[in-house]
Each structure stands twice: as structure tokens, then as C-alpha cells.
Structure 1
Amino acid sequence: MIEAVGLTKRYGSTVAVNDLSFSVKPGRVTGFLGPNGAGKSTTMRMILGLDRPSAGKVLVDGKPYQELKYPLRHVGALVEARWVHPNRSAHAHLRWLARSNDLPRKRVDEVLGMVGLDKVAGRKAGGFSLGMSQRLGIAAALLGDPQVLLFDEPVNGLDPEGIHWIRQFMQRLAAEGRTVLVSSHLLSEMSLTAEDLVVVGRGELIAECSTEEFVNRASDSSVRVRSPQAEQLAGLLAERGLAARTADAQSLLVDGADTEQVGEIAAAGGIVLHELAAERSSLEEAFMRLTGDSVEYQTDFGQPTDTLTTAGK
């Protein structure tokens, strides 16, 4: 489990993280989201003991990272995939990490096999593609078989097959009872991967909840209904005080209503329905709505320029 309490980080007069409190529970994949400059990287660095908090604390399984005797056995992290010495082979890099935490050499071969790098284990890391470097970073995170895992942009550089693999891999790790925290710009991928979310903006907490709750919080209550009698249905809805917008020749969008209301009105009026469904925002739409005031930069048209997207940055 990861627990942040009143976590604050100042750089001179700049407050990067401000009184941030949240917890990441075991057994679930938790997405760590926020616009660029929101304090995500600074927070992850404080979790890993790379930055010292100005105030507050962050604990991993009840202890600060610095107090862990063999940290790789407790926490695995992928923060920067390219930090490996370019002249060192994948196997040599992992063997060095294993020795630093008194881990058996056979574990190196095991994790290389897990991430699909066993056939290139002797190649120099400097010749790896970004996707291969990501896999090597994931192997390093898994080396100590830790219960807590942090991944910063783990799908960066991976092809669609690799993205699918890491999504299932993270979910499997969580299913084993591990704590998995993932930061990513790929909102479409996070919507498929993360069960819970911690969302920050300008260094402060915006939301800590399930992905479903986050999307529902940002969604207006509306219903899509399709009928060959759409015009007649719109009149019946208006009589009940419900406004219907025309989506196409046979479809209406009804705001401020639920499917039960619309279905009962249609049934009472003898209206044939071909479709009746609640409209739900995507994670991207929910994110844009709830973090719009927390982005670093705005365009002249009032649209954020520094938010998460559905494509990698």
C-alpha cells in the first residue's frame, strides 16, 4: 500500500505539490492522472525517496522508502527507461541490480523471460528501441518480486501488441494482491486498465475514486433514444418537462433524464423504441471537464494545451 499524508514539495517560491493526501490500495490498478506540471513526477520521486518532501510524508507499506533495507524487494519502479548505461547488456544491467539487493542470479533470467527480452539479453542496451527499453525497465521493476509497483508512462514506445501485453500484465499483478500505481498520458488506455484513479492538478488533489465514479461525476444525466416516432416522442417528453435534442432523423438526446423515465413515457404513449441507452462521458471527456482549470497553459480559444490526450506525447 502507498499512503501520502499532507505531501508538499516547494522549489523556492514554487509549490510543485501542495498538501497532497491519497492512498493506493493493493489488489487494484490505480491510474495517476493530471495535466503536465500537475506534480505527478515530483510525487512519484518523493514516493521513491528521490526527492525529500518539504512537508508531510509518504509511506510504502507503512515505512518511508529510505528505511527499506532491500528496496527492490518491496518496491519496483519504472520511472525513466533510458537511464541504463548504453554499453551494458540487458543481462548485465539486471545482474548488477540483483547484486545490489542480494537477489539470486536466476531471477534475472526469469524477469527477462517475463518481458520477452530473453533472446536479446546479451545485446547492449544502447541499441534497444524505446519499446525494448521500456520492457527492460519493467524487468528491473519486477526483479525483487515486489508487492508495490510504480510505472511512469509504461506503454510509451510500445506497439499495439505491447500495449495490450502491459495492460494485461499490470492487471495480473494487481490480481495477485500487489499495489500498482500507473501514470500515463494515454487516457483511452487508462480507461481500460485502471480501476481506481488519483487525479491531481497544480499539485493538489482533484479526485480520488474509482474510474467509473470519476466519469459519472463529470457526466450530465442524459439518455439517447432512437425511434421511428421520434417527433411524437419529443412532444410527449416536452409535456413532462423534459427537453429533447435531435441527434438525427430518428434519434433524440434527452437531458436531465434516466432510461426508466424515458422508457415509461414512451410505453404510455405507445411509442416504438429501437434504442434506449444512458449517455456516458469517456474518461477523456471527464478529465477535460474536471481538470480544465488546472492546466498550465490555455489557448486563445480557451482550450487547454497541456492536458492528457488519447495519444502519446
Structure 2
Amino acid sequence: MIEAVGLTKTYGDTVAVDGLSFSVPPGRVTGFLGPNGAGKSTTMRMILGLDNPTAGHALIAGRRYRDLRRPLRTVGALLDAAWVHPNRSARTHLRWLARSNGIPAGRAEEVLEAVGLAPAADRLAGGFSLGMAQRLGIAGALLGDPEVLLFDEPVNGLDPEGVRWIRGLMHRLADEGRTVLVSSHLLSEMALTAQDLIVIGRGRLIAQCGVEEFVARATESSVRVRTPDAARLRALLEGEGAAVHDEDGALIVTGAESSFIGEMCAANGVVLHELSLLRGSLEEAFMRLTGDALDYQAVQEQEGAGR
């Protein structure tokens, strides 16, 4: 488990993280989301002891990172895939990491195989593509077989097959009972990967909940209905206060549950060809709940405001 308690980080007059508290449970993939400049990377660096908090503290498996005798055996992290020395091979880099934490050298071969880098084990890291560097960073995170893992933008540079692979890896790690925290700006990918969310803006907690709850809280669900008797059904629904509009030969209904619509159709002899629930997207929910926390606006928005 990861616990953040009142985490605060200031740089002069700038507050990067402001009294942030949350917990990341084991057995789940937790997405860590926020607009650019929200404090995600700073928070992850404080969890890993790379930045000292101005106030508050973070615990990994009940202990501060600096108190972990062999940290790679407890927590693995990928924050920056480019930090590897360019003149070291992938194998040498991982063996060096292993030796520093009392991990058997053979474990380097295992993780190279696991991330698909075994054929490139003796190539110098400086010649790696971004996708290969990401895989090497993930291998380093897995090296100590840790119970807690943190990934910051892990799919950067990966091709579609690589993205699918890292998604499956995170789910497997969580299914094994490990704690997995992943930060990404790719909301479509987070919708497929994360089960829970921690959402921050301007260094403060906006929400911590499941993905479905987050989307339901911020967006309005609607129901898609297709029927040969659309005009009569529309009149019935509007008579009950529901809002109805046409879209591609179907009725899109808000303000009425799908069960209510189905029962209404049965009671009034209306034939149904389709009755399906339409939910908002994670992207839509994110934009609605973090809109006030944006530090930067698109150029088009700024120009539009000045007209």
C-alpha cells in the first residue's frame, strides 16, 4: 500500500502540492490523473524520496522510502526512462541495479525476457529507441519482484502492441496482490487500464474513487432507444419529464432510467429494437471536474475570449 498524508511541496512562493492525502490499496490498478502542472510527478518523487516534502509524509508498505534497507525489493518505479547511462548495456545496467540491492544477478535475465529485451540485452542503452528505453525502465522496476510499483507515463514511445502488453502487465501485477500506481495523460488508455482513480488539480485532491463512479459523478448518462413507434414513445417520455432528441434514427433519452423506459414500452405496447445505456467518457468527466484547475488554456480559447 502507498499512503500520502498531508503531502505539501513549495518552491519559494509556488505551491506545487498542497496538503495532499490519499491511499493506494493493493490488488488494484490505480490511475493518477491531473492536468499538466497539477503536481503528479512531484508527488511521485516525494513518495520515492527524491524530493523532500515541505510538510506531510508518504509511506510505502508502512515505511518511508529512506527507511527501506533494500528499496528495490519493496518498491519498483519508472519515472524517467532516459536516466540510464548511455554506455551501459541493458544487461549491465540491470546487474548493477541488482547488486546494489542484494538481488541475484540471474534476476536480470528474467526481467529482460519478461519485457521482451532479451535479444537486445548486450546493446548499449544510448542506442535504444524510446520504446526500448521504456521497456528497460519497466525491467528495472520489476527487478526486485516488489510488492509496490509506480509508473509515470509508462506507454510513452510504445507501439500499439507494446501498449497492450503494458496494460496486461499492470493487470497481472495487481491480480497478484501488488499495489500499482500509474500516471498518464492518455485518458483513453487509462479508461482501459485503471480500476481506481486519484485525480488532483493544482496540487490538491479532486477525487479518489473507482473509474465508473468518477465518470458517473461528472457526466450525465443517457439511453439510446430504437423503435418503429418513435413518435408515440417520444410523447410518452416527454410527458414524464424526460428530454428526448433524435440521433441516427434513434431516440436519445436523458432524465429516465433504461428500466423505466422498458417498463413504459411494455405497458403501452411499444415494440423495442434497441434499449442501451450510454455513459459519458473518462475524458469528458476529467475535463468537467478539472476545468477549474487548469493553469494553461488552449490558444483558441484565449483568442475566443478576446473576441
**Range moving further from structure 2, 24-33 or 221-230:** 221-230
- Measured against aligned partners, the alpha-carbon deviations of 1:133-168 in whole angstroms (never above 9, x if no partner) come to 000000000111110000011111011111111100
User: Offset of 1:302 from its aligned partner?
Assistant: 4.4
| Matched letter for residue 296 of structure 1 | D
Residue in structure 2 matched with residue 72 of structure 1 by the alignment: 72
Residue in structure 2 matched with residue 95 of structure 1 by the alignment: 95
Does 2:288 align with 1:282?
no
User: Offset of 1:99 from its aligned partner?
Assistant: 1.1
Instruction: Measure, in 2, the Cα distance between the counterparts of 1:257 and 1:77.
Output: 46
User: Offset of 1:269 from its aligned partner?
Assistant: 2.1
Is the contact between residue 241 and residue 255 of structure 2 (CA under 8 Å) also seen in structure 1? Answer: no
TM-score, normalization: structure 1?
0.94
Is the contact between residue 5 and residue 57 of structure 1 (CA under 8 Å) also seen in structure 2? Answer: yes
Is the contact between residue 184 and residue 190 of structure 1 (CA under 8 Å) also seen in structure 2? Answer: yes
Instruction: Measure, in 2, the Cα distance between the counterparts of 1:201 and 1:258.
Output: 32
Instruction: Measure, in 2, the Cα distance between the counterparts of 1:44 and 1:254.
Output: 42
- Measured against aligned partners, the alpha-carbon deviations of 1:25-78 in whole angstroms (never above 9, x if no partner) come to 001110001110000000000000000011111100111101111111111000
Q: Secondary structure at the match of 1:102?
A: coil
Residue in structure 2 matched with residue 153 of structure 1 by the alignment: 153
Q: Secondary structure at the match of 1:141?
A: helix
- Measured against aligned partners, the alpha-carbon deviations of 1:83-117 in whole angstroms (never above 9, x if no partner) come to 11111100111111111111111111111111111
Instruction: Measure, in 1, the Cα distance between the counterparts of 2:118 and 2:72.
Output: 21
Residue in structure 2 matched with residue 237 of structure 1 by the alignment: 237
Q: How many correspondences in the alignment?
A: 302
Residue in structure 2 matched with residue 198 of structure 1 by the alignment: 198
Residue in structure 1 matched with residue 267 of structure 2 by the alignment: 268
Does 2:118 align with 1:121?
no
| Matched letter for residue 112 of structure 1 | L
User: Offset of 1:240 from its aligned partner?
Assistant: 1.8
Residue in structure 1 matched with residue 258 of structure 2 by the alignment: 259
TM-score, normalization: structure 2?
0.96
Is the contact between residue 29 and residue 193 of structure 2 (CA under 8 Å) also seen in structure 1? Answer: yes
User: Offset of 1:119 from its aligned partner?
Assistant: 1.1
Q: Secondary structure at the match of 1:20?
A: strand
User: Offset of 1:301 from its aligned partner?
Assistant: 5.5
Superposition pairs of residues 15-94 of structure 1, within 5 angstroms: 15-94=15-94
Instruction: Measure, in 1, the Cα distance between the counterparts of 2:19 and 2:188.
Output: 29
Instruction: Measure, in 1, the Cα distance between the counterparts of 2:155 and 2:128.
Output: 15
User: Offset of 1:300 from its aligned partner?
Assistant: 6.1
- Measured against aligned partners, the alpha-carbon deviations of 1:183-215 in whole angstroms (never above 9, x if no partner) come to 011111111111111011110001100111111
User: Offset of 1:283 from its aligned partner?
Assistant: 0.9
Residue in structure 2 matched with residue 295 of structure 1 by the alignment: 294
User: Can you give the 5+ residue segments of structure 1 that lack an aligned partner in the other structure?
Assistant: 304-313
**Range moving further from structure 2, 123-132 or 260-269:** 260-269
Residue in structure 1 matched with residue 225 of structure 2 by the alignment: 225
Instruction: Measure, in 2, the Cα distance between the counterparts of 1:238 and 1:207.
Output: 34
Is the contact between residue 221 and residue 280 of structure 2 (CA under 8 Å) also seen in structure 1? Answer: no
Instruction: Measure, in 2, the Cα distance between the counterparts of 1:51 and 1:75.
Output: 16
Q: Secondary structure at the match of 1:297?
A: coil
Is the contact between residue 221 and residue 257 of structure 1 (CA under 8 Å) also seen in structure 2? Answer: no
| Matched letter for residue 274 of structure 2 | E
| Matched letter for residue 265 of structure 1 | M
Instruction: Measure, in 1, the Cα distance between the counterparts of 2:296 and 2:131.
Output: 30
- Measured against aligned partners, the alpha-carbon deviations of 1:227-267 in whole angstroms (never above 9, x if no partner) come to 1211121111122222211223x311111110011112222
Residue in structure 1 matched with residue 305 of structure 2 by the alignment: none
